[in-house]
């Protein structure tokens, strides 16, 4: 198995591409080892000293590290853990992804979600992260940043200058975009 790695805009994260599907549907973000109980892969990665977060995307794994740790030390351990996991045949996640669609969305929310899914999420996935729609209230779109996007120095600029401007252009009801945990 050959696993490619890519830098992300967030210096504390690295994107690993195992050359196969990681998640069949959705994405999952684990901010701690305790939260990773349902993912044998994430548990294996959190067992490595210095790993602080694991994000599972469609065909990639993004790993976050403590600032004091160095990628040249962590990277071989992470590569080995990912290879061992896929060689074991164990599932990546025991019960699937986190995202659930809501059938009772308004036309505005449906339009916002479609723009996010078609224009924003693919670009953000290229950087090893994801942006999840949470709600739309009083003209404000609330989004959660995951993976490499969470804690990224450029995430505020991406939200305000990129996503907010695009949504305001296509959906006049949108006045602002805010990040929520």
More confident residue, 99 or 162: 162
- Please give the CATH topology (third level) of the domain spanning 107-179: GMP Synthetase; Chain A, domain 3 (3.30.300)
176 — pLDDT class (breaks 50, 70, 90): very high
pLDDT tens readout for residues 112-147: 999 998 888 888 888 888 888 999 999 999 998 888
By CB atoms closer than 10 A (0-12, 13-18, 19+), residue 149 is: buried
Residue of 134, 113, 12 whose CA lies nearest to 62: 12
pLDDT tens readout for residues 50-91: 999 999 999 999 999 998 899 999 999 999 999 999 999 999
Residue spans per domain, the chain? 4-88, 107-179
More confident residue, 118 or 92: 92
- Please give the CATH topology (third level) of the domain spanning 4-88: Ribosomal Protein S8; Chain: A, domain 1 (3.30.1370)
């Amino acid at each position: 198995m050959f696993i490619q790695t890519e830098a992300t805009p967030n210096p504390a994260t690295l994107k690993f591409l195992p050359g196969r599907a990681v998640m069949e549907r959705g994405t999952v973000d684990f901010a701690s080892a305790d939260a990773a109980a349902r993912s044998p892969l994430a548990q294996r990665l959190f067992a490595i000293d210095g790993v602080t977060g694991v994000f599972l995307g469609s065909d990639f794994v993004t790993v976050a590290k403590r600032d004091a740790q160095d990628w040249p030390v962590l990277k071989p351990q992470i590569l080995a853990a990912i290879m061992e996991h896929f060689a074991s045949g164990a599932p990546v996640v025991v019960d699937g992804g986190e995202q659930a669609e809501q059938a009772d969305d308004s036309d505005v929310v449906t339009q916002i979600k479609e723009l996010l899914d078609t224009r924003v999420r693919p670009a953000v996935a290229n950087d090893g992260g994801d942006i999840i729609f949470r709600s739309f209230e009083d003209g404000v779109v609330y989004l959660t940043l995951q993976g490499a996007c969470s804690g990224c120095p450029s995430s505020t600029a991406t939200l305000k200058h990129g996503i907010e401007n695009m949504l305001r252009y296509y959906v006049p009801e949108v006045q602002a975009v805010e990040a929520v945990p």
